[in-house]
Amino acid sequence: MPTRTEANDIVDADLPSIQVILAESNPFEVDRIRLNVDREFQAGIGVARNYDELIAKITEESPQLILLGRIDRFNYFDICKDCHKVREELPIFLISREETISGSFLKLAKTRGLTDIIEPDPVKLNLLFQTIGRPLYLPQISEPSSDLPIAGQTVLNWLEEIITISNDYFGPLAQGNYWRKSRARIIDEFPFVSNWSVDHFSKISCDESMLDRDLTDEDIHSLQVWVRMFIEECERIITDYRSILNNSNLPVLAKDILIKP
């Protein structure tokens, strides 16, 4: 195994813009984790060895995600909260050194802002690193894939199915907040979504005039953007949430129009 100095030479030579920040105070853990990933990814890893360095790097270098190890004596959740004060949407993966992770702790971690918990296993790390370079959250809007007329009632049914599926992952209160937050982000540019709403318990409704008429391409595009923004909110917690919906029992046409990038 290369020494720590040799490992630094491997990773720091011709360092590109940092894509991942490894937050870890223990230099031996830093070396072990860096050397566990394929060489093609190593140059994209920056290291923050203390709290102040981590916050500075997030502010100055715009990383795509954080691998959170042990930073001095700081609490994981406090670090996560402070990181999100700098960049609210930043994915943060906690590196676990435990062989098993309880479901209750994982649930708690996600409610406190962590994206997920990952073992420092080479296979898992490399799979995670393969997502770097693709936009994790910016939705890619495609044109509706069907020339068939689509009534408002049909889309309402699709959205209700998405909500039912999503309640298993986020609960109605959190999910309702994601829908409303997403709607607020786009309502000025896409005023058609003002005809639709989701309450605090994830009950969706729309103006009755929408139900029986066929939606225009512009109407569908507005709803497509709303759903994609909702998925973006969900993927702050579960990074592959679009895949979960695409692999669900939603109708194929619903997936093609509302879910697939």
Q: What is the pLDDT of residues 33-88, one digit of tens each?
A: 888 888 878 888 899 999 999 999 999 888 889 999 988 777 888 898 899 999 88
Same domain, 184 and 111: no
In a domain, 141, yes or no: no
Whole-model pTM: value is 0.47
Number of domain units in the chain: 2
Q: Residue 22: which domain range?
A: 4-129
61 and 100 fall within a common domain? yes
Structure tokens belonging to residue 38: 């394929």
**Could you give the count of Cα atoms lying within 13 Å of 139 in the half-sphere of its Cβ?**
26
12 lies in the same domain as 125 = yes
Once rounded to an integer, what is the mean pLDDT over residues 109-133? 80
Predicted confidence (pLDDT) per residue in 137-175, tens digit:
333 344 444 445 788 898 999 999 999 999 888 888 889
Distance CA 207, CA 112 (A): 36
pLDDT at 236: 87
Q: Is position 179 within any domain?
A: yes
25 and 120 together in one domain: yes
The domain that holds 117 is classified in CATH as: 3.40.50.2300
* Residue at 137 is within a domain: no
At 178, which amino acid appears?
Y
Q: Do 156 and 43 reside in the same domain of the chain?
A: no
How many helices (H) and strands (E) the chain has is answered by 11, 7
Q: What type of residue is 236?
A: R
Mean pLDDT (whole number) for 204-230: 90
What's the mean pLDDT when you consider all of the chain? 81
pLDDT tens, residue by residue, 41-51: 888 889 999 99
Q: How much is the average pLDDT of 223-235?
A: 92
| Per-residue pLDDT at 139 | 39
Which burial class, exposed, middle or buried, applies to 28 when counting CB atoms under 10 A from its CB (0-12, 13-18, 19+)?
A: exposed
DSSP string, 174-196: HHHHHHHHHHHHHTTT-GGGGGE
